[in-house]
Amino acid sequence: MSYLEEIQVKNLDHLGIVAGLIDEIGIVKIINNKLGIDVREKISAGTVVKSILINGLGFVSRPLYLFSQFFQDKAIEKLLGERIKPDYLNDDKIGRVMDELYKYGLNNIFIEVVLEVIKKFKIDLKYSHLDSTSFHLDGEYKREEDKEKQEEEKIIKERPIFIKKGYSRDHRPDLKQCVLDLITSQDGDIPLFVRVGDGNESDKAVFGKVLVEFKKQIKFDSIMVCDSALYGQENLQLIQHLKWITRVPMTIKKAKELVQNIEVEEVKDEDKEKRSDLNLESYTWKEEIVTYGGIKQTWLIVLSEKRQKSDLEKLEKQLSQEEKKSQKFLKEIQSEEFEHPQAARYKLKAINKKLRLLEIKEVELIETYSKKKEKIYKMISLIIKKDEEISRKTKEAGKFILATNLVEENKLEASEILITYKNQQSTERGFRFLKDPLFFTDSFFVEKPERIETMLFLMSLCLLIYNLGQRELINCLKRVKKGINNQVGKVTLRPTLRWIFQCFQGIHYVILNGVKQIVNLTEERRFILSLLPASCQRYYL
């Protein structure tokens, strides 16, 4: 055997960090305990799931039917275990494991993983955030049932989802889709609960039921935070035993009245510095006690200066656009010849339905004759502003209402309510991650809705691993009070885990004459590893 034939070089890069986080959580053990281990199989279900999660966080955008190719140049035995080969990870094996996961119960497995993370990493659950998004899907899906049977199903169901057209957050109404409900912690954006729903599902119809189910599974006294889709009389009755903060939709009559008539309080000098420290210097507010849906609540009417400026600019732009549009309509209706007065007025009514801030008003209807000596009617009209509507929008500019059922002895400070609701973007960050083109959302090549649900379950586990790793890294940097250089060379205490992954590109696992070693492990990389759990360090040190 020649000297060159005794050298093996495999890529390790950042995948040891991913594998270490999976080990630290104990995902392989949980999966194997649930699905069992068949001694006849070359690779366990838990290890297959680990390989899928490593692939998903590899950021190379390869669908599952190219799965084994992903590991061809990777240190697979280092990452997954001795004697494991890439061809063990074929599409048949992956498909069988996905089907077993679905059959056992994706929700049950996810909850057990989450509970382990909460316990081991001491996740603060004072606040939890709920939101939803949609994933559009190509192709035909085999499951079809009538709508009546669909509506009889419970919110947390045994049946597969319905891949259907519905309101698309991706602005692709032409495609079928499914919906993902996600609850995250405010502490580190850790996914606590995921649920895949039908493509035509309404947030208003399910959010209350999702929160009730979540509280059954995660028995912690968490305050639930949600957008205005939660706020309705039926949902409020359903979650009256929970603690919640949500936004009040401006379609409610009481909300409209308050926004129009109430004056937010001026900020006292002694409060200005405090608000600045909380990054709330551009906000003012006023509290009101309101009973709605039979539930006593605190309503916080908030005015944002930045949002007010933006809303007023939009209003001015809308007014300018309508002026141009209404001039065309005016010219059109004044040049038209009508056979009857009611035809002219019908046309005017149809035009005004297209305007919001302006109105074309009839001044006079003239009876005259056409060139063919036929009696016709011509309308003289003018453009007027809808002063009441413009005034209403001006008063509403920059204002919104937050509601909570935490009153009296459980009352929260107004600043805490506002800060907590602003952190609702934790779920939005999760959705951006899941929809990243570098992530494996293009793996939605599967034809069965059950596989779609399982894929979203696995993607949500990837999100949990990523956010947990980022949380641990940032917390350690705060403790040691030492930062690391970011992409532009500036020291930061809050690096993204994706940047850390990039920093670890070029680390190789080398076997030379039977001796195994890691190469390119610089001092900076060693320092980063010292901030991560011990399970991550074992793959490199």
H or E element: which one contains 205? helix 203-217
- At 127 the three-state DSSP class reads strand
Q: Which one has a higher pLDDT value, 499 or 157?
A: 499
Question: What is the distance between the alpha carbons of residues 182 and 196, in angstroms, rounded to a whole number?
Answer: 9
Task: Calculate the average pLDDT of the chain.
Answer: 89
Tell me what the mean pLDDT of segment 278-287 comes to: 93
Residue 495 corresponds to which tokens in the numbers above?
A: 């690096």
Residue range 461-500, pLDDT digits in tens: 999 999 999 999 999 999 999 999 998 889 999 999 999 9
Residue range 65-111, pLDDT digits in tens: 567 788 999 999 999 999 899 989 988 899 999 999 999 999 999 99
Residue range 308-360, pLDDT digits in tens: 999 999 999 999 999 999 999 999 999 999 999 999 999 999 999 999 999 99
**Closest C-alpha to 112, from 1, 29, 8:** 29
- At 219 the three-state DSSP class reads coil
**Closest C-alpha to 130, from 202, 181, 196, 205:** 181
Tell me what the mean pLDDT of segment 196-216 comes to: 87
**Least-confidence region, from 48-57, 148-157, 198-207:** 148-157
Question: What is the distance between the alpha carbons of residues 241 and 244, in angstroms, rounded to a whole number?
Answer: 10
Question: What is the distance between the alpha carbons of residues 455 and 444, in angstroms, rounded to a whole number?
Answer: 8
Q: Cα dihedral angle (97, 98, 102, 104), rounded to 10 degrees?
A: 20
H-only helix segments in 353-503? 387-396, 414-422, 425-434, 449-480, 497-503
pLDDT band for position 442 (cuts 50, 70, 90): very low
Burial-class residue 367 by CB neighbours within 10 Å (0-12, 13-18, 19+): exposed
**Closest C-alpha to 239, from 202, 269, 212:** 212
Q: Does the pLDDT at position 397 exceed 50?
A: yes
Q: What per-residue string of b and e applies to 336-354 under the rule 16 or more CB within 10 Å gives b?
A: eebeeeeebeebbeebbee
Residue 106 corresponds to which tokens in the numbers above?
A: 């994706």
Question: What is the distance between the alpha carbons of residues 28 and 84, in angstroms, rounded to a whole number?
Answer: 15
**Closest C-alpha to 194, from 128, 143, 239:** 128
In one-letter notation, the amino acid at residue 236 is L
